Chain A
Amino acid sequence: MDERVMAVKISFKLNGEDVCINIDDHITLLDMLRDNFELYGAKEGCGYGECGSCTVLVDDVAVNSCLMLAPAVNGRSVVTIEGLSGPRGELDPLQKSFVEKGAVQCGFCTPGMVMSAKALLMAKPRPTEEEIRKGMAGNLCRCTGYTKIVEAVKDASEKEVL
Chain B
Amino acid sequence: MRRLTYHEPESLKDAFALLEGHGETAKLLAGGTDLIIEIKQETKTPDHLISLRCIPELQDIDYSNGELCIGAMVTHRMIEQSKLIREKFSLLADAVDNLGSVQVRNVATIGGNICNGAPSADTAAPVVALGAKLVLDGPAGERQVNVEEFFQGPGKTALAAGEILRAIRIPTLPQGAGSCYIKHSRRKAMDLPLLGIAVIIVPDDNMVCQEARIALSLAGPIPFRAKKAEAFVTGKPLSREIWEQAAQVAVSESNPRTSFRTTADYRKKMICALIPRAAETALRRVNKAWMKG
Please tell me if the beta carbons of A138 and B32 are within 8 angstroms of each other in the complex: no
Chain A residues whose CB sits within 8 angstroms of the CB of B2 once the complex forms: 26
Please tell me if the beta carbons of A72 and B104 are within 8 angstroms of each other in the complex: no
Which of A48, A69, A139 is most buried by chain B, counting CB atoms within 10 A of its CB? A69
Please tell me if the beta carbons of B37 and A49 are within 8 angstroms of each other in the complex: yes
Q: What is the bound-complex CA distance between A72 and B53, given in angstroms?
A: 9
Top 3 A-B residue pairs of the complex, sorted by shortest distance between their CB atoms: A138-B101, A137-B189, A25-B6
Interface residues of B in 32-62 (CB under 8 A from A): 32-33, 36-37, 40, 49, 51, 53
Please tell me if the beta carbons of B6 and A49 are within 8 angstroms of each other in the complex: no
* Residue B8 interfacial (CB < 8 Å): yes
Q: B3's closest neighbor in chain A, by CB? A: A26
Chain B residues whose CB sits within 8 angstroms of the CB of A74 once the complex forms: 8
Please tell me if the beta carbons of B5 and A25 are within 8 angstroms of each other in the complex: yes
Residue of A6, A8, A64 near B103 (CB, 8 A) is A64
Q: What is the bound-complex CA distance between A158 and B33, given in angstroms?
A: 34
Which of A67, A71, A72 is most buried by chain B, counting CB atoms within 10 A of its CB? A67
Please tell me if the beta carbons of B6 and A62 are within 8 angstroms of each other in the complex: no
Please tell me if the beta carbons of B32 and A25 are within 8 angstroms of each other in the complex: no
Known: A25-B4, A26-B3, A68-B107. A137 touches B101 (CB 8 A): yes
Which of B33, B53, B103 is most buried by chain A, counting CB atoms within 10 A of its CB? B103
Q: Mark A6-38, 1 if CB is under 8 A from B, else 0.
A: 101000000000000000111110000000000
* Residue B17 interfacial (CB < 8 Å): no
Chain A residues whose CB sits within 8 angstroms of the CB of B77 once the complex forms: 61
* Residue A88 interfacial (CB < 8 Å): no
Please tell me if the beta carbons of A69 and B102 are within 8 angstroms of each other in the complex: no
Residue of A3, A8, A24, A63 near B106 (CB, 8 A) is A63
Chain B residues whose CB sits within 8 angstroms of the CB of A116 once the complex forms: 102-103
Known: A24-B3, A67-B33, A71-B6. A49 touches B40 (CB 8 A): no
Using C-beta atoms within 8 Å of the partner chain, give the interface range for chain B.
Answer: 20 to 34
Chain A residues whose CB sits within 8 angstroms of the CB of B32 once the complex forms: 67-69
Known: A25-B6, A48-B40. A67 touches B190 (CB 8 A): no
Interface of A toward B, CB cutoff 8 Å: 3, 6, 8, 24-28, 47-50, 52, 55, 61-64, 67-69, 71-72, 74, 116, 119-120, 134-139
* Residue B100 interfacial (CB < 8 Å): yes
Q: A138's closest neighbor in chain B, by CB? A: B101
Q: What is the bound-complex CA distance between A25 and B77, given in angstroms?
A: 26
Nearest CB of A to B83, in Å: 15
Nearest CB of B to A90, in Å: 27
Known: A25-B4, A26-B3, A72-B51. A67 touches B189 (CB 8 A): no
Please tell me if the beta carbons of A55 and B103 are within 8 angstroms of each other in the complex: yes
Q: B106's closest neighbor in chain A, by CB? A: A61
Which of A28, A49, A135, A136 is most buried by chain B, counting CB atoms within 10 A of its CB? A49
Q: A65's closest neighbor in chain B, by CB? A: B103
Chain B residues whose CB sits within 8 angstroms of the CB of A71 once the complex forms: 6, 8
* Residue B161 interfacial (CB < 8 Å): no
Please tell me if the beta carbons of B51 and A52 are within 8 angstroms of each other in the complex: no
Q: What is the bound-complex CA distance between A47 and B4, given in angstroms?
A: 18
Nearest CB of A to B121, in Å: 16
